[in-house]
Amino acid sequence: MFQKEEFDICTIFYNQFKNVITQIPQAQQIIPLNTKSDDQNNSEDNYEFEPDEDEILSNLLPKNISTQIFKAMLENSASEQGARMSAMDNATRNAGEMVDKLTIEYNRSRQAAITKELIEIISGAESL
């Protein structure tokens, strides 16, 4: 599609995995290839290619594009798994706190019921 000039630029957006808590949104231009020119290395070196440059590029560029897309998918997947792990850890911690609070509430209500029964028994014995 790029060779047919159906679009000018192809950019992929993904989350870069930094750690379990942090994912960094990224935008990476895939087509056309962004090359960073080094100002220090401006000398023109002549190399001989076997096979010719066009054939090498026609083989390597599709592999480069698929590798960049695969890398973005892996980073995104790692970020998703990290976010899930963090969410499940928080849910487990919250469930533990809820169980502790409910246990205390249950024990208090049970203790109140026992105390009420004892008061009723003592009151009944005193009335005799």
pLDDT at 34: 73
Whole-angstrom distance, CA of residue 77 vs CA of residue 28: 17
pTM over 0.85: no
Higher-confidence residue of 81 and 5: namely: 81
Whole-angstrom distance, CA of residue 84 vs CA of residue 126: 62
pLDDT at 42: 52
The fraction of the chain above a pLDDT of 70, given in percent, is: 91
pLDDT at 43: 54
Higher-confidence residue of 26 and 1: namely: 26
Q: How does pLDDT run across 66-99, given as a tens digit for each residue?
A: 999 999 999 999 999 988 999 999 999 999 999 9
Buried b (16+ CB within 10 A) or exposed e, 95-123: eeeeeeeeeeeeeeeeeeeeeeeeeeeee
Whole-angstrom distance, CA of residue 109 vs CA of residue 111: 5
- Residue 31, SS3 per DSSP: strand
Q: 């246990």: which residue's tokens?
A: 103
Residue 47 has pLDDT above 70, yes or no: yes
Architecture of domain 10-33+50-95: 3-Layer(aba) Sandwich (3.40)
Mean pLDDT of 11-22: 88
In 10 A of CB 60, how many CB atoms? Answer: 11
Average pLDDT of the chain to the nearest whole number: 86
Whole-angstrom distance, CA of residue 123 vs CA of residue 115: 12
